[in-house]
């Protein structure tokens, strides 16, 4: 008998009819003899509607009250799913994040999970009940106030519960049926991956793959919780995220996929004094504005001037903030100007194969060059190559790289074509 | 500096615009220097919408999950009011029933308040904050589950908090501007009462006056909490419910008002053996079905047969249950048949004046007789006379009694008419 944690997104429970379908899937799992803990997001647009109401009464609502407001969405969906399960003859009990022992920091709207003490969840499981836990929320360790975990919070709740309960697997049900070698909307012959290592999934999530949030994968990796990404609308096998790259035999090591990201902007600080500490001052200024930067490039200093340029990327919506902050410190830091460019895209190739297969970087650059796509910035890790290009070139870049490394599924496509006979 | 508890009903916070208006009234009170605790019901139709959703996923939803579902409505409205108050520059903090220390029994859907331990509420008040408490809900002492208090729950929450905090007054804001001598929709010249004693308000609530729920008045009387009934749409003085009848000088003692109730049905058990215990068996059977009965009449036994009839009234929706239960015990109890009549209405005259003014009952019956209204059953208390009549006669009965005891406001009406000059 296994212990399974299942997480269903808001679209999976958007209507009473979908809630009943989700309940059937949960009861099926229970009938197999497994213990089941379920984390459900708020129904469909509930969260947006609550945000809209808040805006109407206060354009700058206090974060604590915002969390009190938003957490009601998951209470509603969880109670409804529990009712739907009961109507199918199984016993179910729903818990708020606080009741389930999800202890967090007190930073409202983006709280971090400190600990999970699932005593009541365990007790309900021991009584043979299906347990529902409101995702995305917890209780602050110090203030005892209700908190929310921010984006991807429900996935993180599910993985954190799975870790605390020692679950065999955490199933994330979403509107795609797994992790693909590229976005199928851009690359029609993209292939679904049966398994991905935590490290590869981390790189994919970090470079724009939307299917799992980075923090959720980090949590799963730290506590070694296998995460099964599946579609809530089908019974397809999905993708299992588990294990370390080290477990993958080198000769099998292949490239995982191509990720893309159009959410970043590029900032270049021009004419910076090439003296120790000046770069540090630039990044300190950005860090003080609580902006995370991604790629960084420092140009070779021009000997004649002793000046250099620093280029970095950051979330597009925070670009103006960073530029203003830097211009305010122009004299203090010492540079000539700040350039801002938000018409960029980032394409990344991820895969353990890179370690053992030479020439990947060369093939990567050749493929883009052949397609006439100019590379503006390169950064690499042991299992990833990322480059910046024009946003208008991004989709084409994803396609040519996906082809160049033969990540597609021609065979399977043929098989599908043949199924008519 | 006073401590004021204010309660606002669902219609008062049905939209973002009304929530802002309520917030303004709250902040005005705070600016007068008073400490303010606010209890808010769920927005407008929220509760009905949640009930509807529940019905769609499970026609017989588990009570525990129902409470988890419904309590989210008050979380939403309270958080929004707190935000609206903050936008006006005042500091506010909202609490769930559980956070506010509302400890209840574990009977979901109709929990009773066992104790109120408002430690966090007191602390927030001491910090100068306006405190909002989600009405209608609490936490079960034994299971720690979320509970709801049932009908009139938010009023009861407000009064219970006022008692626990030693508040100077509990203001109940509703869509009428006070307690009237009769329902103004039936009696156009009904008069608003400036003050009503707890005993009189108890009788009015018990006999159909909708403005305050009986349990809320009982709670206020037990802990001697003055309740101020006011309109949330005006600044009219409203009605103060406070003090004992004993405080009212006899010579001032007047009749309070006429209440009516069309929610009851009449059951008659015919041909009951007039032997000790048979009546007890009838009422035991009804009590076993958890049905509260109201008026009771046992006819004089017919000497020739040694049989008697027992008539009683009960909530109309429970009538069929009672009849079925009794018919099932017909042999055991020993009676010939059960008659059921749900076309009845109850009209009641309430007032301390009854004690000191003889002939009230006579005037009461004469007035109805003159109007050709037949009295089917009479019951009285020291300060109340209630009779059953046809439901079709009920409105007329209310009018003629209101006139017969001169409860109207001709003078005031004249004054109003004269204000044009």
Residue B251: pLDDT band with limits 50, 70, 90: low
- Residue A410: the pLDDT is 65
Find chain A residues with C-beta within 8 A of B93's C-beta: 64-65
Residue A421: pLDDT band with limits 50, 70, 90: very low
Percent of chain A at pLDDT > 90 equals 71
Hey, is the C-beta of B16 within 8 angstroms of any chain A C-beta? yes
Residue B412: pLDDT band with limits 50, 70, 90: very low
User: Lowest-confidence range among A248-257, B212-221, B356-365?
Assistant: A248-257
Instruction: Please tell me what DSSP assigns to residue B131.
Output: E
Interface test with A, best of B79, B98, B101 (most A CBs within 10 A): B79
Beta strands in B238-354, from DSSP E residues, in sequence order: 239-241, 255-261, 264-273, 296-298, 307-315, 337-341, 344-351
- State the CB neighbour count (10 A cutoff) for residue B417: 9
Residue B420: pLDDT band with limits 50, 70, 90: very low
Q: Is the Cβ pair A56, B16 closer than 8 Å?
A: yes
In angstroms, the separation between the Cα of residue B17 and the nearest Cα of chain A is 7
- Residue B234: the pLDDT is 85
Q: Is the Cβ pair B83, A58 closer than 8 Å?
A: yes
Residue B249: pLDDT band with limits 50, 70, 90: low
How confident is the model over A112-150, as pLDDT tens digits? 999 999 999 999 999 999 999 999 999 999 999 999 998
> Is B93 within 8 Å of B82 (Cβ atoms)?
yes
Find chain A residues with C-beta within 8 A of B99's C-beta: 144
- Residue A372: the pLDDT is 94
- Residue B20: the pLDDT is 96
pTM to 2 decimal places? 0.83
> Is A90 within 8 Å of A59 (Cβ atoms)?
no
- CA–CA distance, B203 with B193 (Å, rounded to integer): 15
Stretch A291-317: mean pLDDT, rounded? 85
> Is B364 within 8 Å of B401 (Cβ atoms)?
yes
Among chain A residues, CA nearest to B93 = A65
Helix, strand and coil content of chain B, in percent to the nearest 5, comes to 40, 25, 35
Instruction: Tell me the Ramachandran region of residue A101: left when phi exceeds 0, alpha when psi lies from -120 to 50, beta otherwise.
Output: left
Using the structure block, give the residue that is written with the tokens 């935590």: A198
In angstroms, the separation between the Cα of residue A9 and the nearest Cα of chain B is 18
Stretch B158-170: mean pLDDT, rounded? 96
B297 vs A70, residue with greater confidence: A70
Task: Tell which residue, B208, B213, B295, B187, has the closest CA to residue B260.
Answer: B208
> Is B308 within 8 Å of B299 (Cβ atoms)?
yes
Residue A381: pLDDT band with limits 50, 70, 90: confident
- CA–CA distance, A80 with B417 (Å, rounded to integer): 55
How confident is the model over B53-100, as pLDDT tens digits? 999 999 999 999 999 999 999 999 999 999 999 999 999 999 999 999
CB contact set of B369 (below 8 Å; sequence gap of 6+): none
- CA–CA distance, A274 with A308 (Å, rounded to integer): 6
Q: Is the Cβ pair B57, A94 closer than 8 Å?
A: no
List, in sequence order, every residue forming a beta bridge with B94; answer none if it has no partner.
B132
List, in sequence order, every residue forming a beta bridge with A302; answer none if it has no partner.
A307
> Is A147 within 8 Å of A106 (Cβ atoms)?
yes
- Residue B252: the pLDDT is 55
**What is the predicted ipTM?**
0.80
Torsion angle of the four alpha carbons B283, B288, B293, B296, in this order, in degrees rounded to the nearest 10: 0
Cα–Cα distances in angstroms (integers) from residue A237 to residues A171, A192, A194, A230, A232, in the given order: 11, 10, 8, 7, 11
Find chain A residues with C-beta within 8 A of B77's C-beta: none
Instruction: Please tell me what DSSP assigns to residue A373.
Output: P
Hey, is the C-beta of A386 within 8 angstroms of any chain B C-beta? no
The string of DSSP letters for A20-55 reads HHHHHHHHHHHHTT-EEEEEE---TTHHHHHHHHHH
Three-class SS of residue A104? Answer: strand
Q: Which two tokens stand for residue A348?
A: 């990344």
Residue B418: pLDDT band with limits 50, 70, 90: very low
- Residue B250: the pLDDT is 57
How confident is the model over A266-288, as pLDDT tens digits? 999 999 988 878 888 999 999 88
Q: Is the pLDDT of residue A247 over 80?
A: no
Q: Is the pLDDT of residue A100 over 50?
A: yes
In angstroms, the separation between the Cα of residue B97 and the nearest Cα of chain A is 13
Q: Is the Cβ pair A83, B65 closer than 8 Å?
A: yes
Residue A409: pLDDT band with limits 50, 70, 90: confident
How confident is the model over A140-153, as pLDDT tens digits? 999 999 999 987 89
- CA–CA distance, A325 with A285 (Å, rounded to integer): 7
Q: Is the pLDDT of residue B414 over 80?
A: no
Using the structure block, give the residue that is written with the tokens 């999976």: A12
Write the residue in A56, A62, A72 that is nearest to B72 by C-beta.
Answer: A72
Q: Is the Cβ pair A54, B87 closer than 8 Å?
A: no
């Amino acid at each position: 008998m296994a212990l399974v944690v299942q997480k269903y997104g808001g679209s999976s429970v958007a209507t009473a009819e979908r809630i009943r379908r989700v309940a059937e899937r949960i009861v099926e799992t229970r009938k197999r003899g497994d213990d089941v803990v379920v984390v459900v997001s708020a129904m469909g647009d509930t969260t947006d509607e609550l945000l809209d109401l808040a805006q109407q009464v206060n354009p700058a609502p206090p974060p604590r009250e915002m969390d009190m407001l938003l957490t009601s969405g998951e209470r509603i969906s969880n109670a409804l799913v529990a009712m739907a399960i009961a109507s199918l003859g199984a016993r179910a009990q729903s818990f708020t994040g606080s009741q389930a022992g999800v202890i967090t920091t007190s930073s409202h709207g983006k709280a971090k999970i400190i600990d999970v003490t699932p005593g009541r969840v365990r007790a309900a499981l021991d009584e043979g009940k299906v347990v529902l836990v409101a995702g995305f929320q917890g209780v602050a360790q110090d203030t005892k106030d209700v908190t929310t975990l921010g984006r991807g919070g429900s996935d993180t709740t599910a993985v954190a519960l799975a870790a605390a309960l020692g679950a065999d697997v955490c199933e994330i049900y979403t509107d795609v049926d797994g992790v693909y070698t590229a976005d199928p909307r851009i690359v029609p012959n993209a292939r679904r991956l049966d398994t991905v290592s935590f490290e590869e999934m981390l790189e994919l999530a970090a470079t724009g793959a939307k299917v799992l949030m980075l923090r959720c994968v980090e949590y799963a990796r730290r506590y070694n919780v296998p995460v099964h990404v599946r579609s809530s609308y089908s019974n397809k096998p999905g993708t299992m995220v588990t294990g370390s790259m080290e477990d993958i035999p080198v000769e099998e090591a292949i490239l995982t996929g191509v990720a893309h990201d159009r959410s970043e902007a590029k900032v270049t600080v021009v004419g910076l004094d090439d003296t120790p500490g000046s770069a540090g001052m630039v990044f300190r200024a950005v860090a003080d504005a609580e902006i995370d930067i991604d790629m960084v490039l420092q140009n070779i200093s021009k000997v004649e001037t002793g000046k250099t340029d620093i280029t970095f990327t950051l979330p597009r919506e925070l670009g103006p903030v960073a530029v203003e902050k830097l211009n305010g410190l122009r004299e203090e830091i010492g540079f000539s100007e700040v350039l801002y460019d938000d018409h960029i895209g980032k394409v990344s190739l991820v895969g353990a194969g890179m370690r053992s297969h030479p020439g990947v970087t060369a093939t990567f650059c050749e493929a883009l060059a052949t397609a006439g796509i100019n590379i503006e910035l390169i950064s690499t890790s042991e299992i990833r190559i990322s480059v910046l290009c024009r946003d208008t070139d991004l989709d084409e870049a994803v396609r040519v790289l996906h082809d160049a490394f033969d990540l597609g599924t021609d065979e399977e496509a043929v098989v599908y074509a043949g199924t008519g006979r």
